[in-house]
Structure 1
Amino acid sequence: LEEREQRLEEILKQYKQTAAFEGAGTGFGGFWLGLADFPLFLSIKMKFLFDAGQLYGFNVDSYEEKVFLLNVFMLAFSSDDARRSMKDVVLDWEQIPQSRKQIDWKTLQIEYRDTLDFVKLLQLFPGIGAAVGFIANGRLLQHLGETTKNASRLRLLNS
């Protein structure tokens, strides 16, 4: 577990740098380049999440593991109320029935959007958008990394 987490910290550092520079680049361009930030940053986060899942030994090609990782994503980027309900699903993943191992796409989209609204709005302003994008993307990826590490650690220890 210690070796996995050291490796996770290494790849998290790389992904944070990529995300920060992507945020700065798209923030620098103002509104039009800022529109490109959402899909670019989302793809960086998803790639990190699946790389981290592989690092912890999860079969990320299976549907069930993909759903687990999306639940971890929701745990990281949701409101407090949604996070409380997601926490139980993630922590008891091995014990919950197959019927609950699914993703509510509408909730995922709404929670994710609402979590990032204000920060990403500031990124659309030329000039300050670059600084906001650089800092925000790095911090958001760090948050995803911590959530992924803790959820994976607890899952391995519970099984």
Structure 2
Amino acid sequence: MGALARASSRDAPRAALAQAVTQARGGLGRQLLHRNRASLKSQFVQFAEVFPLKEFGFTPEPGRYLEVVGWVEVVAGLLLAFGPQLLQEISNFILSVIMIGAIYTLLALREPLAMCAPATLCLGLLLLLNIRGHVAPTKPKFE
């Protein structure tokens, strides 16, 4: 019993340190998430001003716009990665439309072209994935 008490007393500082690091990382993560969310909200206020459907009388509320775009991207991304073929094609199309909208929004806001690079790269990869997914079937050698 004495050996067990000594072992647990030696591991106590390690456990306390591990718990402190875990809590610090969680707190830091929450702070960064909160800060990034505030920054994204302010950006989506600008994005809502140049929303493509604004010409037809539909202007989204920036907070709701942020949530909808975020959830659509997450769900479509998961379906693209892990879904069946049909859902992968649908999610590829949805993500492509979102990337085209992102490029349009940045150009409408007259942001530098470098700001369009991530969305353009993602759109290019989605289109490449779409093209690569439609390979013509090969004919059997025995015909």
TM-score range, shorter chain: 0.3 to 0.5
Q: TM-score, normalised by structure 2?
A: 0.32
Larger Rg: 2
